[in-house]
Amino acid sequence: MAEVAHAEHYTSTGIDHRKVLMWLFLGSECLFFGSLIATYQVYRGQSLVGPHPHEIFNIAYTSISAFVLLMSSLTMALAVNSIRLGNLPATRVWLLLTALQGSIFVGGQVFEFTTFVAHGLSLQVNLFGTTFFVLTGFHGAHVTVGIIMLFSLLFASVLGRLGPAQALTVEIVGLYWHFVDIVWIVIFTVVYLLPY
């Protein structure tokens, strides 16, 4: 990731290349998740057979895991804050907490999927199963990638390769992480909470 870590380098806008890259990438990701959500919405309530969403959702359970992911954004922001202030121990703690909350979310999703499958909702059984698993599954995959990046940062810090000079790297991983969180804010509302 040290692509442009010259001792001194010029950018036309004064913003680091990697940060511009990440924001552009997230813009692109908006269209990716937008298209998945559009598919979900076009097929909303079009299933010919059950199980239907209201028969199978456990809103209390999913609310808690959504809340955990939301709070992981707080710890991520605090990690960025800490490394900017040069507080490496605190950075590690916040990164670890973020990764753990992410893992709880993904674990919760795996459990939820298993429960749904046990109740007869599979990828193949109806349009709801098809669109639900693909949309939330791709989100879960994004969270997993984020967790891997967080653990990579922690690993780098154990090797002594994470210091205030890498604050921007942490910030960029943070941008990705927050994005994954806001996607879930939308999915949670659209898929789980909006009345069918």
Partner 1 sequence: MATVGRAVGVFPRPGFFEYLWSWLTTVDHKRIGILYGLTTTAYLLVGGLEALLIRIQLAHPESRFLDPDTYNQIFTMHGLTMIFLVAMGYNATFFNLVVPLQLGARDVAFPRLNAFSYWGFLFGSLLLNLGWLWGQAPGVGWFAYANLTSVQYTPGLGTDFYVMGLQVLGISSIASALNFLVTIINLRAPGMTMFKLPVFSWMTLVVSVLIITAFPPFTVGLIEVMFDRLFGTNFFNPAAGGNPVLWQHLFWVFGHPEVYILVLPAMGIVSEVLPVFARKPLFGYPFVVFSGIFIGFLGWGVWAHHMFAVGLGPVANSVFAITTMLIAVPTGVKVFNWLGTLWGGHIQLKTPLYFAALGFIAPFIIGGVTGVMHPVVPSDYQQTDTYFVVAHFHYVVMPIVAAFFAGFYYWLPKYTGRLLDEGLGKVHFWLFFIGTNLTFGSQIIVGFLGMPRRNYTYPAGLGWEPWNLLSTIGAFLIGLSVVVFVVNVLKSLRSGQVAGPDPWDGRTLEWLTSSPPPVYNFAEIPVVRHRDELWARKYGAHGERVGAHNPPNPGSELQIHLPRPSYYPLVAALGIAIGFLGAVLIRPAEVGGLGPLGWAVVVLGALITVGGLYGWAFEPAE
Partner 2 sequence: MAERTESRPVRHQAAGEAGKGVGAELHDLTAEYIRVAVVLAVVTLIEVATYYVALARGLTIGVLLVLSALKFSLVVLYFMHLKFEGRLLKYVFSGPLLLAVVVVIALMALFGVLIG
Q: Which helix (H) or strand (E) holds 169?
A: helix 167-187
52 binds partner 2 (CB under 8 A): no
151 binds partner 2 (CB under 8 A): no
Q: Among the candidate windows 8-16, 61-69, 173-181, 182-190, which touches partner 1 by CB under 8 A?
A: 8-16
Q: What is the end-to-end Cα distance of the chain in Å, rounded?
A: 45
Instruction: Name the binder of 41 from partner 1, partner 2, none, CB < 5-8 A by kind.
Output: partner 2
Which CB, 47 or 98, lies closer to partner 1? Answer: 47
**In which residue are the tokens 């499958």 written?**
117
35 binds partner 1 (CB under 8 A): yes
Angle in degrees, CA 146, 118, 41, rounded to 5: 60
Q: Which helix (H) or strand (E) holds 157?
A: helix 127-158
Contact between residue 162 and residue 132 where contact means Cβ atoms under 8 Å apart = no
CA-closest candidate to residue 188, choices 119, 132, 110, 130: 132
Per-residue contact string for residues 46-85; x = within reach of partner 1 by CB under 8 A: xxx-------------------------------------
90-112 b/e (C-beta count within 10 Å ≥ 16 → b): ebbebbbbbbebbbebbebbeeb
Which CB, 105 or 122, lies closer to partner 2? Answer: 105
148 binds partner 2 (CB under 8 A): no
Query: Where along the sequence are the contacts to partner 2 (CB under 8 A)?
Result: 2, 4-16, 19-20, 23-24, 26-28, 30-31, 33-35, 37-38, 41-42, 44-45, 59-60, 63, 66-67, 70-71, 73-74, 76-78, 81, 84-85, 164-168, 171, 174-175, 178-179, 181-182, 185-186, 188-189, 193-195
